[in-house]
Amino acid sequence: MRSRRWTPSRVATTLLLALIGLLFAFPLFYLVATSLKTKADLFAPVPSLWPPNPTLEPYYDVLVTRGFSELLVNSIVVGLGATALAICIAFAICYPITRLPAPRRLRGFVLSWSLSLRFLPPVAVVIPYFAIVRAIGLYNQLPALILVYTIFNLPLAIWMLRGFLDEIPLEIEEAALVDGASRWYAFRHIVLPLARTAILAVGIIVFAFDWAEFLFAFILTATPQAMTFPVGVQGLVTQFEIIWNDMAAGGVIAILIPLTLMLIARRHVMTGLTFGVIREK
Amino acid sequence: MSAASADTLAAGGRIRTAWTARSRQERLVYKLLLPVLGTVVVLATIPFVLAVIQSLTSDTRGFVGLDNYARALSNPLLYESIKQTALYGAIALPVEILGGLGIALLVHRTVRSSGLRAAIYVAAMIPIVIPQIAVGVVFRLVFAPDYGILNVMLGLTGPSQPLWLSVPQLALVATAAVDIWQWTPFVYLVMFAGLQTVPSESVEAAQVDGATNLTLFRFIELPYLRPLILLVLFFRIADVIRVFDQVYVLTGGGPGTTTQYLSLYIYRIGFKFSDLGQASALAVVVMVSMTLFYTVVSRFLPADRR
């Protein structure tokens, strides 16, 4: 059955798969190519597939001349803040439901309720948040974004973390408790070190989601003081006269960060996206 | 006798200590969980309560009853938007699910090298992790007139070239194509992972019995994939309702109202027309509908299998 012979149908399917791959990769290739073009290249009558004089100028333009580095810093600050908060809260919620004899119904409620948040469209939630944020004077402030992102990505953090915590055998902790350790000591010196990879994986994925978020930042901020990077990129796409190479460079930067993170945590991406249904061995 | 009673006593004592230890642990559950969970549930519920309040009031006239709901639900643009959203989903979802499933079967049957499989796995993850705004950037470069690579590749430039983002029917198809580009790989990954859970003994037994590829799929593999197909479908429906970023930067909801999908419509009512009353009414309707949708589908979702 498992022959490696190149039968005609095998060649055909391989070619088909290669074609599909090419179709998917091509738009991204053109994005990168455009981001390496000079201003002069943009006026070629027919846009070239390959940058004739590759340059990093558009990246400099976006980050320095247009001042997007400030937005980049905002995005990172918001991402780190919201990720740290989400992990702490998710830990506080997941520890009792995975490590202690929590009633099944309570556990079911936590998981089901948090998953239900995944089904709410952000635009419906942002309208009341907009009112709250203005009322408490946090409009156009990074803390508002941190708070909103924390809540919005909490379900993801809870579901991923509970999956990881379920995998740490209860016996290890119980052994320490029998030996007279306090629960806090067992948590601090046994569960926490064992959960280090889990925390890293959850953190990376939650950060990538925070980084990509657009609608909340778009509505809750107004000036570069609090705008995030995607909001800046949006400006490059919707302006009247699009500067193609700058826009492409903005796109590449926006992609590069989550892409790098996801490659690092690639074994956990699908677990996160499917709320634990797909688990990597 | 005394030995027996001592025994029962000891057993009772053990039971009692175990019982109190257990109830102490259960108390610890509540002590740890309730403050945090309570705060989070409140924080996540405030928006809903506030949306209900906003939807029943007006900035100038105070309490207005169901006025905002009446305006929201009598707006013909709402139904236009729902129709377009449904069309978008009707184009994108079947292609994504059938395409993703098809590619998964192809790879599962053809690609044997585990290194190549891992490479395809990572490659398929790339579109999924691209921020929606950047997806908008990518497809501006594909669909734009004059500079867009699609028309260049098709050899269609000049005044008669197709304007993918500004002709009504084309814009709908173009935005759906973007969705297909980004999410077919996701379906592929889920289906491929599902195929790996099919026990190889069943497959081999079927093959010994002379099953064709089609019967193998229909009777051996499909039963394993069915829950995953449902899961993908539910998640993707929720995603179609929230489609915003990439469509906003590609068409802004236009031309006319062709690509003004539900999220863009609510955004427009709330923030372009600054009619937060009507937008809140819409938000409440959507939140309630999606919660109902979730309640119905959650039975098919992986709630708690322990």
Q: How many residues does chain B have?
A: 306
pLDDT band at A218 (very low <50, low <70, confident <90, very high): very high
DSSP assignment letter at A139: T
Q: Where are the domains of chain B?
A: 2-63, 67-300
Q: Do A255 and B131 touch (CB under 8 A)?
A: yes
Q: Do B290 and A127 touch (CB under 8 A)?
A: no
The pLDDT value recorded for residue A247 is 95
Give the nearest chain B residue to A5 (CA atoms).
Answer: B110
- In the block, residue with structure tokens 């006269």: A241
What does the H/E/C string look like for chain B?
CHHHHHHHHHHHHHHHHHHHHHHHHHHHHHHHHHHHHHHHHHHHHHHHHHHHHHHHEECCCEECCCHHHHHHHHCHHHHHHHHHHHHHHHHHHHHHHHHHHHHHHHHHHHCCCHHHHHHHHHHHHHHHHCCHHHHHHHHHHHHCCCCCHHHHHCCCCCCCCCCCCCCHHHHHHHHHHHHHHHHHHHHHHHHHHHHHCCCHHHHHHHHHCCCCHHHHHHHHHHHHHHHHHHHHHHHHHHHHHHCCHHHHHHCCCCCCCCCCCHHHHHHHHHHHCCCHHHHHHHHHHHHHHHHHHHHHHHHHCCCCCC
More confident residue, B20 or B167: B167
Between CA A230 and CA B112 the distance in angstroms is 40
Query: How many structural domains comprise chain A?
Result: 1
The residues with which B63 forms a beta bridge, in sequence order, are B57
Averaged pLDDT of chain A: 90
The pLDDT value recorded for residue B72 is 93
Q: Tally Cβ neighbours within 10 Å of residue A265.
A: 20
3 state DSSP class of A225: coil
- Mean pLDDT over A104-131 rounds to 89
The pLDDT value recorded for residue A73 is 96
Counting Cβ atoms within 10 Å, is residue B26 exposed (0-12), middle (13-18) or buried (19+)? middle
The pLDDT value recorded for residue B302 is 59
**pLDDT above 90 covers what percent of chain B?**
54
Q: Which amino acid is at A67?
A: G
Torsion sign, CA atoms A8, A10, A16, A22: negative
Q: Does the pLDDT at position B192 exceed 90?
A: yes
Q: Does the pLDDT at position B245 exceed 80?
A: yes
Of A75-89, A164-178, A199-213, B228-242, the one with minimum mean pLDDT is A164-178
Q: Tally Cβ neighbours within 10 Å of residue A242.
A: 18
Q: Does the pLDDT at position B10 exceed 70?
A: no
The pLDDT value recorded for residue A270 is 83
A170: left (phi over 0), alpha (psi -120 to 50) or beta: alpha
**CATH for B67-300 (1.10.3470.10, 3.40.640.10, 2.130.10.10, 1.10.3720.10):** 1.10.3720.10
The pLDDT value recorded for residue A3 is 52
Sequence-separated (6 or more) residues with CB below 8 Å from residue B287 = A120, A124, A125, B48, B51
The pLDDT value recorded for residue B29 is 85
- Mean pLDDT over A142-171 rounds to 91
Q: Tally Cβ neighbours within 10 Å of residue B127.
A: 19
Residue A13 lies inside a defined structural domain of this protein = no
DSSP assignment letter at A7: -
Q: Does the pLDDT at position B13 exceed 60?
A: no
The pLDDT value recorded for residue A277 is 72
- Mean pLDDT over A249-272 rounds to 90
The minimum CA-CA distance between B144 and chain A, rounded to whole Å, is: 10
Among A128, A266, A278, whose Cβ lies nearest the Cβ of B122? Answer: A266
Largest CA distance in chain A: 78
The pLDDT value recorded for residue A4 is 58
Between CA A213 and CA A206 the distance in angstroms is 11
Which domain, by its residues, includes A136?
Answer: 66-273
Between CA A109 and CA A100 the distance in angstroms is 16
- Summarised one tens digit per residue, pLDDT across range A38-95 is 998 888 888 888 898 899 999 999 999 999 999 999 999 999 999 999 999 999 999 9
- In the block, residue with structure tokens 């119905």: B296
- Mean pLDDT over A18-25 rounds to 93
The pLDDT value recorded for residue B60 is 79
CATH of residue A241's domain is 1.10.3720.10
The pLDDT value recorded for residue A145 is 95
Q: Does A237 touch chain B (CB under 8 A)?
A: yes
- Count A/B contacts: CB-CB distance under 8 Å: 264
Averaged pLDDT of chain B: 88
The pLDDT value recorded for residue B306 is 40
The pLDDT value recorded for residue B65 is 84
Provide φ and ψ at B58, rounded to 5°: -130, 150
Between CA B263 and CA B286 the distance in angstroms is 10
Among B54, B107, B304, whose Cβ lies nearest the Cβ of A128? Answer: B54
**pLDDT above 70 covers what percent of chain A?**
97
Of B5-14, B127-136, B149-158, the one with minimum mean pLDDT is B5-14
Between CA A10 and CA B111 the distance in angstroms is 9
The residues with which B57 forms a beta bridge, in sequence order, are B63
Q: pTM of the prediction?
A: 0.89
Q: Which amino acid is at A245?
A: N
Residue A9 lies inside a defined structural domain of this protein = no
Q: C-alpha angle with apex B4: B2 to B10, nearest 5 degrees?
A: 100
Residue A219 lies inside a defined structural domain of this protein = yes
The pLDDT value recorded for residue B4 is 47
The pLDDT value recorded for residue B263 is 96
pLDDT band at B305 (very low <50, low <70, confident <90, very high): very low
Q: Does the pLDDT at position B25 exceed 90?
A: no
The pLDDT value recorded for residue A182 is 87
Query: Which of residues 53 through 72 in chain A touch B, CB cutoff 8 A?
Result: none
Give the nearest chain B residue to A24 (CA atoms).
Answer: B181
- Mean pLDDT over B184-206 rounds to 91
Q: Does A136 touch chain B (CB under 8 A)?
A: no
pLDDT band at A35 (very low <50, low <70, confident <90, very high): very high
Between CA B50 and CA B30 the distance in angstroms is 28
Of B40-44, B138-142, B245-249, the one with minimum mean pLDDT is B40-44
Tokens of B303: 């709630």
Q: Does the pLDDT at position B84 exceed 90?
A: yes
Between CA A153 and CA A172 the distance in angstroms is 30
Chain B CB contacts of A71 under 8 Å are none
DSSP assignment letter at A61: I
Between CA B3 and CA B93 the distance in angstroms is 73
Q: Does the pLDDT at position B304 exceed 50?
A: no
Between CA B55 and CA B51 the distance in angstroms is 6
Q: Does the pLDDT at position A134 exceed 80?
A: yes
Q: How far is CA A4 from CA A122, B103, B206, in A?
A: 49, 20, 21
Q: Across A187-201, A215-229, B146-160, which has the greatest mean pLDDT?
A: A215-229
Q: Does the pLDDT at position B8 exceed 60?
A: no
Residue A175 lies inside a defined structural domain of this protein = yes
Residue A269 lies inside a defined structural domain of this protein = yes
Whole-angstrom Cα Rg for chain B: 27
Between CA A176 and CA A196 the distance in angstroms is 19
Q: Under a CB-based contact definition with an 8 Å cutoff, are residues B72 and B278 in contact? A: yes
Question: H helices within A54-195, ranges in order?
Answer: 57-60, 68-99, 104-117, 122-135, 142-167, 170-178, 183-186, 192-194
Residue A2 lies inside a defined structural domain of this protein = no
Q: Which residues of B235-247 are buried (b: 16+ CB within 10 A; e: fewer)?
A: bbebbbbbbbbbb
- Mean pLDDT over B33-62 rounds to 88
The pLDDT value recorded for residue B18 is 61
Q: Does the pLDDT at position B3 exceed 50?
A: no
* ipTM score of complex: 0.91
